[in-house]
Amino acid sequence: MNAAVERFQLQRDHFERALARLEQVLLRPEDDVVRDAMIQRFEFTFETAWKALYRLLRARGNDIDEEAYQVIPAAFARRLITDQAGWGDMRKYRNLTSHTYDEKVAIEVAAFIRSQAVDLFRALAVELRKGTA
Q: What's the rounded Cα separation, in Å, for the pair 25 and 22?
A: 5
pLDDT, residue 100, reads 73
More confident residue, 44 or 99: 44
Any idea where the domains of the chain sit in the sequence? 3-129
Assign domain 3-129 to its CATH superfamily: Nucleotidyltransferases  domain 2 (1.20.120.330)
Say what percent of the chain tops pLDDT 70: 98
- Among 121, 123, 6, smallest CA distance to 59 is for 6
Question: Model pTM?
Answer: 0.93
- pLDDT-derived band at 47 (thresholds 50, 70, 90) equals very high
pLDDT tens column, 77-113: 999 999 999 999 999 999 888 777 889 999 999 999 9
**Per-residue model confidence as pLDDT tens digits over 11-23:** 999 999 999 999 9
Q: What is the pLDDT of residues 22-40, one digit of tens each?
A: 999 999 999 999 999 999 9
Per-residue pLDDT at 66 exceeds 90: no
pLDDT at 57 over 90: yes
The 3-state DSSP class for residue 2 equals: coil
Buried b (16+ CB within 10 A) or exposed e, 46-84: bbbbbbbbbbbbbbeeeeeeeebeebbebbbeeebbeee
Q: What is the pLDDT of residue 133?
A: 52
